[in-house]
């Protein structure tokens, strides 16, 4: 009898020993040793240690990430959504002859900027080009169903970005930043995409990363039923035959303090980690750093690698100086990333 008990217990003990001796997962293989990574790892170590004064419960481990220029490329030679609007209005045979005059003007503004370096015009004295683009984009995709728009974005994303060989828009993630997602998820952080780009563009682009759509926040237009007509949604009853379509009514351009308001409404908690790459992310960072309940950290990527990516070095130097004054942690794409887009991707001259 004793022999049988020993035989039964022995495999269990060996199994437990095997688990304890299992090799630990290696993170950040695509990063060089750098201060920003040291800060992040120390922060996570403290936040996940119940005996540490800086411990953060799982439900409050919230991280927010800008998208363009933070974990996906934006300098080929501008934002994905700008490039897609230019194509939609000036090249897409199904739409280019239908575009309103102001939408065509905005698309041409983007083309002139991309091809000739012509500065992007302001929307008016108060607002810059971001808002001009947002209003034009709302009109350019109006009438598309949510599913049709998702397919449209993914189809355009199959194109090769101008200025690169060996990848598509859909592949153009900063591979080291994807390791940050993995690391945070394994340490029970919940991360959200908080972008100035259209919410449904963001959802389409990050779908391959398995980021849930309810953790994606971005620019919004009003949605309506295709059978609703002019009737208000509070009165109209959606039927099984209806489809949700995009309207031409802009709700919000999700930049600067609008990001903070969106986080407060949609997440309902102040982040403890924030990642971005531009002045449009500073408000989100400051909201995170002002967290009065937990220790927090903010990180800014600097596009300072002109060998593997298309970078504005002069602008990058100015930004870094300002961000250091703001006490943000600096991530240098040139010095901190072993790769940006992965093997087989080559930067080339822009072609027009």
What confidence score (pLDDT) does residue 22 get? 60
What's the CA gap between 249 and 236, in Å, rounded?
A: 18
Same domain? For 210 and 307 the reply is yes
Same domain? For 177 and 266 the reply is yes
Same domain? For 190 and 135 the reply is no
Q: Compute the Cα dihedral for 235, 241, 244, 247 and give only its sign.
A: negative
What confidence score (pLDDT) does residue 6 get? 47
* Cis omega (within 30 of 0) for bond into 77: yes
Helix/strand/coil for 158? coil
Same domain? For 188 and 51 the reply is yes
Same domain? For 99 and 169 the reply is no
Q: What is the pLDDT of residues 177-217, one digit of tens each?
A: 999 999 999 999 999 999 999 999 999 999 999 999 999 99
Same domain? For 62 and 109 the reply is no
The answer, yes or no, to whether residue 158 has pLDDT greater than 70, is: yes
In this structure, what are the phi and psi dihedrals at residue 330, rounded to the nearest 5 degrees? -95, 130
- The answer to whether residue 273 sits within a structural domain is yes
- The answer to whether residue 28 sits within a structural domain is no
Predicted confidence band of residue 15 (pLDDT cuts 50, 70, 90):
low
- Domain endpoint, select from 144, 164, 184: 164
Q: What is the mean pLDDT of residues 150-166?
A: 97
The answer, yes or no, to whether residue 305 has pLDDT greater than 60, is: yes
- Domain endpoint, select from 97, 131, 164: 164
The answer, yes or no, to whether residue 346 has pLDDT greater than 60, is: yes
Same domain? For 134 and 169 the reply is no
What's the CA gap between 93 and 96, in Å, rounded?
A: 6
Q: What is the mean pLDDT of residues 283-299?
A: 98
Q: Where are the beta strands (DSSP E) in the chain?
A: 62-65, 164-165, 190-198, 216-225, 244-252, 273-276, 297-302, 329-332, 346-347
Q: What is the pLDDT of residues 210-222, one digit of tens each?
A: 999 999 999 999 9
Helix/strand/coil for 220? strand
Instruction: Using alpha carbons, select from 265, 287, 251, 221 the residue that is nearest to residue 66.
Output: 287
Task: Calculate the CA 121 to chain-centre distance.
Answer: 25
- The answer to whether residue 229 sits within a structural domain is no
| Structure-block tokens of residue 292 | 């009065």
Q: What is the mean pLDDT of residues 74-85?
A: 93
Give me the domain span that covers residue 95. Answer: 80-164
- The answer to whether residue 300 sits within a structural domain is yes
The answer, yes or no, to whether residue 257 has pLDDT greater than 90, is: yes
The number of distinct structural domains making up the chain is 2
What confidence score (pLDDT) does residue 21 get? 63
Predicted confidence band of residue 269 (pLDDT cuts 50, 70, 90):
very high
- The answer to whether residue 62 sits within a structural domain is yes
Same domain? For 306 and 271 the reply is yes
Same domain? For 131 and 278 the reply is no
Same domain? For 66 and 149 the reply is no
Q: What is the pLDDT of residues 101-151, one digit of tens each?
A: 999 999 999 999 999 999 999 999 999 999 999 999 999 999 999 999 999
Q: What is the pLDDT of residues 315-335, one digit of tens each?
A: 889 999 999 999 999 999 999
Q: What percent of the chain has pLDDT over 70?
A: 94
**Global pTM?**
0.92
Computed over every residue of the chain, the mean pLDDT equals 94
CATH number, residue 60: 3.40.50.1000
């Amino acid at each position: 009898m004793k022999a049988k008990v020993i035989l039964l217990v022995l495999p269990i003990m060996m199994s437990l020993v095997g688990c304890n001796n299992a090799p630990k997962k290696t993170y950040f293989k695509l990063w060089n040793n750098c201060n920003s990574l040291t800060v992040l790892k120390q922060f996570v170590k403290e936040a996940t240690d119940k005996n540490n004064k800086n411990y953060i419960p799982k439900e409050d481990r919230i991280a927010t990430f800008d998208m363009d220029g933070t974990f996906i490329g934006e300098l080929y030679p501008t934002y994905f959504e700008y490039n897609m609007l230019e194509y939609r209005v000036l090249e897409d045979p199904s739409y280019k002859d239908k575009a309103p005059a102001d939408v065509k003007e905005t698309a041409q503004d983007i083309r002139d900027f991309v091809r000739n370096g012509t500065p992007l015009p302001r929307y008016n004295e108060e607002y810059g080009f971001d808002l001009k683009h947002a209003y034009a984009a709302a009109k350019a995709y109006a009438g598309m169903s949510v599913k049709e728009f998702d397919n449209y974005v993914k189809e355009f994303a199959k194109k090769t970005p101008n200025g690169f060989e060996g990848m598509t828009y859909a592949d153009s993630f900063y591979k080291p930043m994807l390791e940050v997602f993995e690391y945070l998820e394994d340490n029970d952080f919940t991360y959200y995409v908080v972008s100035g780009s259209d919410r449904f563009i963001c959802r389409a682009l990050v779908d391959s990363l398995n980021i849930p759509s309810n953790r994606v926040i971005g620019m919004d237009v009003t949605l309506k039923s295709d059978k609703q007509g002019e009737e208000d949604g509070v009165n109209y009853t959606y039927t099984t035959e209806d489809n949700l379509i995009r309207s031409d009514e802009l709700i919000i351009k999700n930049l600067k303090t609008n990001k903070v308001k969106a986080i407060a409404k949609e997440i309902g908690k102040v982040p403890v980690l924030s990642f971005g790459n531009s002045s449009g992310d500073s408000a989100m960072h400051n909201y995170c750093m002002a967290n009065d309940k937990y220790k927090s950290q903010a990180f800014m990527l600097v596009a300072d690698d002109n060998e593997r990516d298309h970078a504005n070095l002069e602008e990058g130097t100015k930004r870094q100086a300002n961000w250091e004054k703001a006490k943000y942690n600096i991530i240098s794409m040139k010095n901190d990333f072993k790769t940006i887009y992965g093997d087989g991707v080559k930067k080339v001259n822009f072609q027009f």
